[in-house]
Structure 1
Amino acid sequence: MKDLSGRTALLTGASGGIGAKIAEALADAGANVVLSGRREDALADAAARVTERGAKAAVVPADLSDFDAIDPLVEAAEAALGPVDILVNNAGIELTAPFAEFTRDELTSLIDVNVTSPMLLIKRVLPGMVERGTGSIVNIASAAGHFPPAYAAHYAASKAALVALTKSLRAEYDDSPITFSVVSPGFVAGDGMYQRIVDSGVKSPKMMGTTSTEKVAAAVVRAIRNDSVEIVITGSPARPLVALGALAPKTHERLVDRLGMHSAFGQAARIRGRLR
């Protein structure tokens, strides 16, 4: 079991509700945390909760849609709290609309933030981890990577890409001390992008169940400690469907539809004026 005490963690997407809870969980496990995101006031609040737990905190605002921000982010993180031992790629965006109606910029910008920036961050911190002989990387994906909903095709594709990226890197670095894990939350109640969808008037599919920001944060720490491949955090009806998707894809497809995944994202697209 890996010890997080005294380790430096770089957490992106730290200004959101899930990110703030991950920061707290890392601090509770003994890690010092560099918090990055776009909302400086929220980052400051999250940093205060880290220091209340006896850990060190540093705030480094960054917009990960700008690839030129990657190197300065890591450099500032290391200058503040030392070499990055843990990277948690939590930043991400979602958009809902019929696929043919997405603009080119919408398609590319989502992939930039959800896939390319995590890749660039991993590429930036990995050599140092290998040289020091220690390091953990956790990608926050989404259950949408396993249950691809209609009207969010490129979002689901970006999350499936993070799952595949994590597993490929595990294979490539199998003989090294560096660990790679992915945490895939389902509908997160209380805060985060799914809660914002519900707050806009969308009825969350009851059969898919919900999870919480606290459970997602705990899964991140558990993944680091136990070198987990993937932890799927959803309501209990959904988890067996992950296996079913590989064994019986057509049955899986029908069940996902019946559970209401497609209708939920369709409602979101309609409320946002992207679906008539």
Structure 2
Amino acid sequence: MIRSLQQLICPLDGGLLELTERSWRCQQGHSFDIARQGYVNLLPVQNKRSKDPGDSKLMVQARRRFLEQGYYQPLADALTETVLATGDQSLLDAGCGEGYYLAKLINAAESKAVSLSVAALDISKWAVQVAAKQDRRPDWIVASNGSIPLADQSLDTLICVFGFPVVDEFKRVLKPGGRLIMVDPGTTHLQELKALIYADQKQKTEVLPINDTEFQLYSEQRVSFPVSLSSAQDISDLLTMTPHLYRSQAKGREQVMQRTALELTADAWIRVFTR
């Protein structure tokens, strides 16, 4: 069974929120309406660093098209296997994007008869809008990892896929013994793309994404596989969905956009930390 977590808290006073028809309300009278797409915005204006934080609408659309082609399916499969290894659980996808990895996870849980209580958040309203349209059962939330609107110790598992960990918040919402599953790029991730767009590449070194005495590294798995892009659209989408679109110079971007085929390496670490 897949159901909503329903452990949301008010971003203004920290009180528990209760679902009343189409709104989440706290005892202090704060109310947050559920949008027609099926999500709730719990990111107060004062907590925004920009007018439209997170991935842009263009980036979200490009990532959705790219991932739906199945290029990162091996990573989604490995993550799903890792998450579901412990059976029934409460789960947060912190930085869910357009919902690709969570959708794969939910589908697998249903086929294996694993029960999940699910919430997912992203700071990009465009990403959450797309994700919420796919499946109304999870709690879809516009919020940041820096201020997670969930109750203390409400989670068995927290996944953060290519996201930004906020250790103190992750510790707060995880139960003792809970799992933090981080997915981070390896040293050779998209190295062929980087070689085209950057004149001088810096060699990346492997570092643990979490360095805190309250989190213990339980396991790690490296997932590396080839990715063959055979259309200009897919190449453009890959560049658009990554930060490289904005970090690279025009000459490098032009070299990539002129391609109609590209052979790449996908390389990522799946690390499980226990609270």
Q: Same fold (TM over 0.5)?
A: no
**Structure whose alpha-carbon radius of gyration is higher:** 2
Which bracket does the TM-score occupy, shorter chain normalised? 0.3 to 0.5
- Structure with the higher fraction of residues in strand conformation: 2
